[in-house]
Structure 1
């Protein structure tokens, strides 16, 4: 019986797709992956499936993980400093959805 086999991460590292570690902080204190998530969200998407495909291909993560990261970014003041237009727009959309569910 040998040493245990190393386990693969649940998601491929986005850093491989982005050319660096997602722990590397850039201007404003956001990681390269955080900035890439905001950039994907900033784009317009032509139809269903295109955004999810881009998330997988460009970021190397699942759409579910993408939306988890995006949700955390909306609560991060560094994200609002980096891209206030996108973050504030998404915060308004999130607040409207919450209000609709509760109301």
Structure 2
């Protein structure tokens, strides 16, 4: 977990919301990410993994960040 100052952006909160609502990592998520955020699925997942280690994101959405960290350990 990162200890330096980090503030969630509106996009970061949206990334966490999408991951929380659609945890199956399916093609549906890829299309939703392109449509709502205008980013590739690779960029989405890279940012999601980064967020899962940030204190601000963990405090904002502990369940989703934990799910991502556990998914990464597999």
TM-score, normalised by the number of residues in structure 1: 0.60
Which residue of the partner structure matches residue 61 of structure 1? Answer: 39
RMSD: 2.1
For 1:42, what is the secondary structure of its paired residue?
helix
Which residue of the partner structure matches residue 3 of structure 2? Answer: none
For 1:29, what is the secondary structure of its paired residue?
coil
Structure scoring higher RCO (CA < 8 A, sep ≥ 6) equals: 2
Length, aligned pairs only: 69
**Structure 1 residue ranges without an equivalent (≥5):** 1-27, 98-103
**Structure 2 residue ranges without an equivalent (≥5):** 1-5
The structure carrying a bigger helix percent of its residues is 2
Q: Deviations over 1:14-40 (max 9, x none)?
A: xxxxxxxxxxxxxx9310010010011
TM-score, normalised by the number of residues in structure 2: 0.81
Whichever of the two has the greater Rg, that structure is: 1
Go from structure 1 to structure 2 and tell me whether the alpha carbon gap of 1:48 and 1:91 turns closer, same or farther (over 3 Å shift). Answer: closer
2:18 is aligned with 1:40: yes
